[in-house]
């Protein structure tokens, strides 16, 4: 007998601080989203309690909080990461959120260290730092490694090195395809068993190229086989979170939410009825 299909949740990465939480939550509910991925700026601007009340009153959940950690620059950066963790764990408690996005160091700009450049000491520090934070977070809260260029989880081999080195059940993967230097099918095969969250994008011309809406007929990426592999074949729950709704070209975020939300709901329905 095969696995029972995993649950699919649909979310939107929310990065803006201008709109009040109640308006954001109401609009997302009307568009069929299950919840929100809450980034630092709006969390700081309005506070966890205001977001918790807005989401709860609209039947939505906080699917992921998005702190930044840095394990690459010695004891001081690790201490700062631990302070950040404590602060976000308190927000997660208020929001009843069980997932924190995790980077290994600065994701862009000065201080970026990617996998081939990292020294043995930086690998060891990162593994130990992640282990400490996983233990501090406890089994009810995941630390979810974002597979992002410019870090130690930018390709599947490096992400697996971290997962195996840390060896804690609450270290999971935020799969952001494509990963550096490998076909998406390889990334999915290697990291699918560890994936709980995915930043979903569609691309023009080539996977990893300019972004567009998920339902764009000239787009080149289809999330259906990814979702089928993780939820139907592996039996894992999966959050699909729409990221960069302006696609880097100024598209209206609510038009993207409308189109991508509808597309992901149809994809979820199709997977559940295969």
Token reading at 217? 């007929």
DSSP one-letter code for 6: P
User: How do the domains of the chain map onto residue ranges?
Assistant: 8-272
- pLDDT for the residue 108: 84
- pLDDT for the residue 131: 97
What is the full per-residue pLDDT of the chain (274 aa) written as tens digits?
A: 456 899 999 999 999 999 999 999 999 999 999 999 999 999 999 999 999 999 999 999 999 999 999 999 889 999 999 999 999 999 999 999 999 999 999 888 888 999 999 999 999 999 999 999 999 999 999 999 999 899 999 999 999 999 999 999 999 999 999 999 999 999 999 999 999 999 999 999 999 999 999 999 999 999 999 999 999 999 999 999 999 999 999 999 999 999 999 999 999 999 888 7
Q: Answer whether CATH 3.10.300.10 is correct for domain 8-272.
A: no
DSSP one-letter code for 192: G
Q: What are phi and psi of 134, to 5 degrees?
A: -60, -45
- pLDDT for the residue 107: 82
Q: Where are the beta strands (DSSP E) in 104-229?
A: 142-146, 171-175, 195-200, 202-203, 211-212
Which pairs with CB-CB distance under 8 Å and at least 24 residues apart come from 161-168? 161/123, 162/104, 162/126, 162/127, 162/130, 163/194, 165/123, 165/127, 165/131, 166/127, 166/130, 166/131, 166/134, 167/131, 168/130, 168/131, 168/134, 168/135
CB 126 within 8 A of CB 166: no
Give the predicted TM-score (pTM) of the model: 0.96
């Amino acid at each position: 007998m095969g696995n029972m299909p995993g649950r699919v949740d649909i979310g939107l990465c929310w990065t803006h601080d201008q709109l009040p939480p109640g308006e954001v939550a109401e609009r997302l509910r009307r568009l069929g989203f299950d919840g929100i991925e809450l980034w630092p700026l709006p969390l700081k601007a309005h506070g966890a309690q205001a977001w918790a009340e807005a989401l709860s009153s609209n039947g939505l959940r906080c699917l992921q909080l998005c702190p930044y950690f840095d394990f690459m620059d010695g004891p001081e950066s690790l201490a700062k990461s631990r302070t950040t963790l404590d602060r976000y764990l308190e927000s997660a408690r208020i929001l009843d959120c069980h997932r924190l996005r995790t980077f290994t160091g600065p994701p862009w700009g000065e201080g970026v260290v990617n996998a081939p450049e990292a020294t043995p000491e930086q690998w060891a520090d990162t593994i130990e730092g992640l282990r400490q934070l996983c233990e501090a977070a406890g089994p009810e809260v995941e630390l979810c490694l974002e597979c992002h260029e410019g870090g130690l989880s930018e390709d599947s081999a490096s992400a697996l090195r971290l997962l195996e080195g840390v060896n804690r059940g609450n270290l999971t993967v935020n799969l952001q395809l494509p990963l550096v230097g490998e076909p998406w099918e390889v990334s999915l095969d290697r990291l699918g068993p560890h994936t709980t969250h995915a930043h979903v994008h569609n691309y023009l011309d080539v996977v990893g190229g300019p972004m567009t809406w998920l339902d764009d007929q000239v787009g080149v990426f289809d999330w259906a086989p990814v979702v089928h592999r993780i939820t139907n074949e592996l039996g894992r729950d999966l959050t699909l979170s729409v990221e960069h709704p302006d696609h880097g070209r100024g598209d209206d975020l609510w038009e993207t939410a409308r189109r991508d939300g509808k597309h992901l709901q149809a994809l979820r329905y199709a997977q559940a009825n295969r």
